[in-house]
Structure 1
Amino acid sequence: MDSKQIYLRFLNLIHALDGSANAPTMDLDAKKLLEVIAVRHASEKPLTVTDAMALSAIASPATIHRKLDQLRELGMIDTVFEGKNRRTKYLVPTPMAHDYFKQLGNVMKQALVEA
C-alpha cells in the first residue's frame, strides 16, 4: 500500500471514529483549535485566551471565542491560572481531550498496520 492509500485509510478510520456514539461533536475549526491548544500545552508553552483569539489562520476572533466555549462545554479544554497571576488564563486539554487524541493515535496505528 502506498502513502496515499495509507493516508486515505487513516481518513476513513477517522471519519468512522467521528461518527461513533462516544466521539465529541466538533467542527473543523474546533478540532484545529483543540490541536493547537494540545500541541502548545505539550511543548510547555500553553496558549492564553488572548493568544488563541489571535489565531487568525483558524478563524476570526469571534468564531474562536465561540469555539473555545464549545470546547469547554464538551469538556475538551479547561482554563487554568499559573502561579499567583490570577489575570492570565491558560488553555489546557482535559483528560477527555487526551483520550480523544489517544483514539486518533490508535486509528493512525491501525491504518499503518493494515498497510
Structure 2
Amino acid sequence: MTRPADIYLRFLQLAEALRGLPSLPALDPLEERILELVARSSQNRQRLSVRDMMGNSDLGSPATLHARLKSMRKKGWIILTDTEDARRKQVELTQAALRHFDRLSECLVKAAKDD
C-alpha cells in the first residue's frame, strides 16, 4: 500500500519535469507566490489590482512587488489590464500561464492514478 506522501512526491517529480519544457521562463520563489495569488483570485472570480497586491505585506515592499510584476509580464506569465480607473491596473494570468496550471493539474491526476 502506498502512503499518501508518495502521491505528493510523485506529483512534485512530475511537476519538476515541467520546468524543463520550453514553455515560459522560470519564476523565482516570490514570483511563484504572486502567480498563485493571481490564480486563486481568478479562480474565486475576484478582481486583483496592483494596488490590492501592494496591501499584501507578505509580498515585500512596493518596489520589490513592482519589479517582480514587471519581470513576470516580460516572461509572459501575467498581463495588466485597464479598469474603469485608468490609474488602476488589473493583474491577470496569460493564456500560457493558464496552460501551465492545466499541465500541473494533469501531473496531480497522473500522480494519484499511479497509486
Using the size of structure 1 for normalisation, the TM-score is 0.88
Q: Which segments of 5 or more consecutive residues in structure 2 lack a partner in the other structure?
A: none
Higher strand share: 1
Aligned to 1:100: 100
Task: Give RMSD over aligned pairs.
Answer: 1.5
Change (3 A) 1:72 1:23: closer
Alignment check: 8 A CA contact 2:24 2:77 kept: no
SS of 2:102's equivalent in the other structure is helix
Residues 17 and 23 of structure 1 are in contact (CA less than 8 Å); yes or no, is this contact kept in structure 2? no
CA shift, 1:110, in A, is 1.0
The one-letter code of the counterpart of 1:17 is: L
In the alignment, is the contact (CA less than 8 A) between 2:24 and 2:76 conserved in 1? no
How many percent of aligned residue pairs carry the same amino acid? Answer: 32
Write the letter of the residue equivalent to 2:107: V
Query: 1:61 deviation in Å?
Result: 2.8
Aligned length: 114
Q: Which stretches in structure 1 are left out of the alignment for 5+ residues? A: none
Q: Which has the higher contact order (CA 8 A, sep 6+)?
A: 2
Q: Which residue of 2 aligns with 1:7?
A: 8
* Secondary structure of 1:64 counterpart: helix
Deviation at 1:2?
1.4
